[in-house]
Structure 1
Amino acid sequence: MTMLVSVGMFFLPMTEVLAEEKVPRPLGVQNNDLIDDVLSDWNFTLGAGAGISPDYEGSDDYEVGGLPIIEASWRDDTFFVSSVNGIGATLLRSEHFSSGVSFNYDGGRDDGDNSALRGLGDVDDGINITAFAGLDFGKYAFGVDVTQDLSGNDKGAVVSLGADYRFTYLDDRLMFEVGPDASWASGDYMSTYFGVDGKQASRSKYNQFDADAGFKDLGLHLNAMYALDEDWTMVGGVNYTRLLGDAADSPFVESENQFSSFLSVTYSF
């Protein structure tokens, strides 16, 4: 589900703080149990999420889907394994800056997902690598992700930019963040997901269309997290995206305005 991935788990730092605060290690107590010593550096999160999003980028038909949430983080995301964010590591970290890399599964696209895609063929699934960096000043945060296809499926690269303004209520148990998003896509990505080559034109109802590199979309998101207690957390969000340039002009794009929403409940320990 795209909307669950797109949230980027912005709230992970807060949930990790809650997890760390609830199991303090007693001062002066020597723990000789090797397993306890190893697990003390880890935080785990289990849960489930559901959401609604377009059938494909540019569709005006929507689908509902679910996703299990399984997170394991070692030493505040120095290394992490996630059903949402893939497998990765934070390589650089300072008071306000962090950056790293992750490997993620890309589900591609099937021409059977929607009647508008018939004749365009499937976009194969594969593996992406993402380099990420962010500045976090508490109330304000800024981030950039650069995602590159590693599967040789001509999916190219996407550069995603985002910013957040955060505010809290109910003694910091309820947190909101709102901000803009934008993404730039390479020529390979645009051709794969928005273009129509000669072979596709011959077997579909569309004329040939060349989609070039450029800014793909501009959007706005609103996310919220509510700490039900020190273990349970509810996260939800809504997103609006406006397709731009050749993405908006693609012959099989039915709507330039794209909406998505999600809701998840997690247990951290």
Structure 2
Amino acid sequence: MKMMRREILSAAALCAAIQGADASPIDISNELPNFFGGGVGSTTEYAGGKDRIVGVVPGMRYVTGSGHLFEWYGTYAQYNFGSLSGFQWGPALALRLGRRDVDDPVVSQVHSVDTTLEGGGFVGYEYSHAGDIPYRLRAEVTVVTNAGVVYSGARTSLNTSAWFPVHRRVFVGGGLGATWVSGGFNETYYGVTAEDAAKSGLPLYTPGGGLNQVTGWLAAIYQINPSWYAGAMVYYQRLSGDAADSPIVTQRGTRNQLTYGVGIAYAFR
């Protein structure tokens, strides 16, 4: 069964968007509500590919009785032991979906990649401005690895976001990010072994590590009523470095990856 990869948190547009919106239609500087919901979106079949698939992902935000924050967006989850606003830190888990039975007849001859669980942690900071024009800013660094189960080394991501109200019930947001990976990661997902080359006709390719991609996104969220929200998001990835130079990308796919989706969520206190 073909599944959407980790980077598609944008498919659950609202699940990401509601991080910057408040249950109140007037002031986003108050404490954010708990919520659960989901989204549907379209993305490429695998990182670097050009064939598209459609998928559904869930999302959840919940503040425990002790004041800790649990967030779950699609295939990524984290638990914040820090402040709800201010310094944040804690463990992180990600389900990295594999590459198997793809539509491209050439890439289908390249070694398959199993789905794997990544574990690690994050540190970040969130600033909430309460004023005539309230806004929220967030920056976060996440480091995860799967301890050599599927790939060796680690993956480090830097992500930033900003949210602003443009109407009593409408919020807009955007963000930028970048990801650095180990050579072992790139070899697994973008490498072409001698056996792969013999089967597929692609040239032998052994990538190193470094900057893997840069990302950017834009989104909007609409408050239907005090409990229900709807949103939409467009998410852009541009593969970089050795990942972008892989023949899987240059000959059979594209370094420009576009994902888009819509979502809905129910918020509660």
> If the TM-score is normalised by the length of the shorter chain, which range does it land in?
0.7 to 0.9
**Alpha-carbon distance between aligned partners in 2 of 1:60 and 1:146, rounded to the nearest angstrom:** 27
Query: Residues 259, 251 of structure 1: CA spacing in aligned structure 2 closer, same or farther, 3 A cutoff?
Result: same
Q: CA deviation at 1:190?
A: 0.5
Deviations 1:148-193 (A, max 9, x none): 114611154221112223221222x221111321111111110011
Q: TM-score, normalised by structure 2?
A: 0.79
Determine if the alignment matches structure 1 residue 193 to structure 2 residue 186.
no
Paired residue secondary structure (1:60)? coil
Q: CA deviation at 1:141?
A: 2.2
| 1:5 corresponds to | 9
Paired residue secondary structure (2:117)? strand
Determine if the alignment matches structure 1 residue 103 to structure 2 residue 93.
yes
Select which of 168, 171, 175 maps to 2:171: 175
Determine if the alignment matches structure 1 residue 18 to structure 2 residue 23.
yes
Q: CA deviation at 1:13?
A: 4.2
Kindly provide the amino acid, as one letter, of the partner of residue 5 in structure 1.
L
Q: Matches of residues 212-251 of structure 1 in structure 2 within 5 Å?
A: 212-251=208-247
> Any conservation in 2 of the 1:47–1:265 contact (CA below 8 Å)?
yes
Q: 5+ residue gaps in structure 2? A: 25-32, 129-134
Flag the structure with more relative contact order, 1 or 2, with Cα contacts below 8 A and sequence separation at least 6.
2
Kindly provide the amino acid, as one letter, of the partner of residue 149 in structure 1.
N
> Any conservation in 1 of the 2:16–2:73 contact (CA below 8 Å)?
no
| 1:147 corresponds to | 144
**Alpha-carbon distance between aligned partners in 1 of 2:105 and 2:63, rounded to the nearest angstrom:** 41
Percent identical pairs in the alignment equals: 25
Paired residue secondary structure (1:136)? strand
Q: Matches of residues 149-164 of structure 1 in structure 2 within 5 Å?
A: 149-150=146-147, 152-154=149-151, 156-164=153-161
Paired residue secondary structure (2:247)? coil
Paired residue secondary structure (2:112)? coil
| 1:119 corresponds to | 109
Paired residue secondary structure (1:59)? coil
Q: TM-score, normalised by structure 1?
A: 0.79
Paired residue secondary structure (2:81)? strand
> Any conservation in 1 of the 2:120–2:144 contact (CA below 8 Å)?
yes
**Alpha-carbon distance between aligned partners in 1 of 2:71 and 2:176, rounded to the nearest angstrom:** 27
Kindly provide the amino acid, as one letter, of the partner of residue 120 in structure 1.
V
> Any conservation in 2 of the 1:179–1:221 contact (CA below 8 Å)?
yes
Aligned residues: 244
| 1:25 corresponds to | none
Paired residue secondary structure (1:266)? strand
For structure 1, which segment, 245-254 or 92-101, has the greater mean C-alpha deviation from structure 2 after superposition?
Answer: 92-101
For structure 1, which segment, 88-97 or 141-150, has the greater mean C-alpha deviation from structure 2 after superposition?
Answer: 88-97
Query: Residues 113, 105 of structure 1: CA spacing in aligned structure 2 closer, same or farther, 3 A cutoff?
Result: farther
For structure 1, which segment, 84-93 or 201-210, has the greater mean C-alpha deviation from structure 2 after superposition?
Answer: 84-93
> Any conservation in 2 of the 1:232–1:266 contact (CA below 8 Å)?
yes
Paired residue secondary structure (2:248)? coil
Q: 5+ residue gaps in structure 1? A: 20-42
Q: CA deviation at 1:104?
A: 2.8
Query: Residues 207, 183 of structure 1: CA spacing in aligned structure 2 closer, same or farther, 3 A cutoff?
Result: same
Query: Residues 98, 71 of structure 1: CA spacing in aligned structure 2 closer, same or farther, 3 A cutoff?
Result: closer
RMSD: 2.7
Paired residue secondary structure (1:209)? coil
**Alpha-carbon distance between aligned partners in 2 of 1:208 and 1:63, rounded to the nearest angstrom:** 28
Query: Residues 85, 205 of structure 1: CA spacing in aligned structure 2 closer, same or farther, 3 A cutoff?
Result: closer
Q: CA deviation at 1:210?
A: 0.8
Kindly provide the amino acid, as one letter, of the partner of residue 215 in structure 2.
G
Determine if the alignment matches structure 1 residue 205 to structure 2 residue 201.
yes
Q: CA deviation at 1:56?
A: 1.0
Determine if the alignment matches structure 1 residue 129 to structure 2 residue 119.
yes
Q: CA deviation at 1:224?
A: 1.8
Q: CA deviation at 1:79?
A: 5.0
